[in-house]
Amino acid sequence: MLTENRCFYIEEMKDKILKVSFSATVLLFCLMSHAWTEECKFIITNFSKGVDGDGVPMDWELVEKAGSPIVKIKNENNGHSLHLISEKSSFGLKKNIYVDVKEYPYINFKWKVKELPENGDFRKKETDDQAAQVYVVFGKFTFLSTIIGYIWENKTPQFTTGVSPAWSRSRIIVLESGSEKLGKWVMETRNIYEDYKKLFGKTPSNANFVTLYINSQHTKSRAESYFGEIYFSKSRKFESPIHEENQYKINKAQCDEGNTY
């Protein structure tokens, strides 16, 4: 009887030790993940700060070009998101930033398009309308700045690149095209440092602005989109989809590509 009790006690202690070890491992992983996030993630926005008296998200500036803007903040996709609607209009939101894209080469953002402008195509000025546009501006002065733009197109094939018809110092990359993913949240990750070098033939300076745009005034139609969290990182998010044309190498001494957050 004594032997049976002793065996039972030993098994019980083993079970407790395993549980404690597992809990300690989980805690250590969380702490390491948090530390990695703090070091390797430069958050631009998650739209959680609310809006000002004019209904514009805090820390952002509304830029109106044509028509009346429709801007909302929604609780969606387990967080806050920016909701933009264009009805024969053109407008955007601009935020000051200061990011060394050599240190944080990856830009990450979530977006969703609900409606594409009819026959939108950036390759012609008269049809240059898109439901969702993300621009990173390099340079503090407009007339000297260069821009990398990521857009969701209607007609232009995916991964098409070119010069913006609206600004000759802006280079465009079509990340998504067509209606296949309409109504779905899509996570994008791009190595903007390499994109810039490829499209401008030189290394970029620090990024000074991020702008989010929508327009449909050229095609006299309507467009609707959502934007979620936006951040720069030293490494790509492990489970995030990476378009095959953008699988560039990074400095693994800074951040192990296998880490997730």
Q: Which of 1-10, 30-39, 190-199 is most confident?
A: 190-199
Mean pLDDT value of segment 146-162: 95
In whole angstroms, how large is the CA radius of gyration of the chain? 23
Residue by residue, what is the 3-state secondary structure of 80-94?
Answer: EEEEEEEECCEEEEE
User: Given this model, what pLDDT does residue 178 score?
Assistant: 95
Helix (H, G, I), strand (E, B) or coil at 198: helix
* Cα separation, 227 vs 111, whole angstroms: 4
Share of the chain above pLDDT 70, in %: 75
Q: What is the C-alpha to C-alpha distance for residues 145 and 259, in angstroms, rounded to an integer?
A: 34
What percentage of the chain reaches a pLDDT higher than 90?
Answer: 67
Whether residue 256 contacts residue 233, with contact meaning beta carbons closer than 8 Å, is answered with no
Which pLDDT score, from 0 to 100, does residue 240 have? 40
pLDDT of residue 236: 80
Instruction: Look at residue 43 in the predicted model and tell me its pLDDT.
Output: 93
What does pTM read for this prediction? 0.77
Mean confidence (pLDDT) of the chain? 82
Q: What gap in Å lies between CA 203 and CA 62, rounded to an integer?
A: 30
Q: Rounded to the nearest 5 degrees, what angle is found at the Cα of 160, between the Cα atoms of 260 and 232?
A: 30
Q: Which residue has the higher pLDDT, 19 or 233?
A: 233
Instruction: Tell the residue number behind the tokens 């340079």, with chain if given.
Output: 139
Average pLDDT over residues 187-207: 96
The pLDDT value recorded for residue 13 is 55
pLDDT for residue 249: 32
pLDDT over 90 (residue 193):
yes
Answer whether residue 172 shows pLDDT above 60. Answer: yes
Asked if residue 78 has pLDDT above 90, the reply is no
pLDDT tens per residue across span 22-72:
444 434 433 334 334 456 889 999 999 999 988 999 999 999 999 999 999
Contact at 8 Å (CB) between 130 and 213?
yes
| In the predicted structure, residue 230 carries a pLDDT above the cut 90 | yes
Tell me which of 2.60.120.430, 1.10.10.60, 3.40.50.200, 3.40.228.10 is the CATH number of domain 46-246: 2.60.120.430
pLDDT tens, 209-219? 999 999 999 99
Token digits of residue 247: 């699988």
Q: What are the residues facing 162 on neighbouring strands?
A: 172
Q: Which residue has the higher pLDDT, 60 or 11?
A: 60
Mean pLDDT of all residues in 172-188: 96
Does residue 123 have a pLDDT over 60?
A: yes
Full DSSP string of 219-248: TT-EEEEEEEEEEEESS--TTS---GGG--
Average pLDDT over residues 119-125: 93
**Which pLDDT tens digit goes with each residue over 102-115?**
999 999 999 999 99
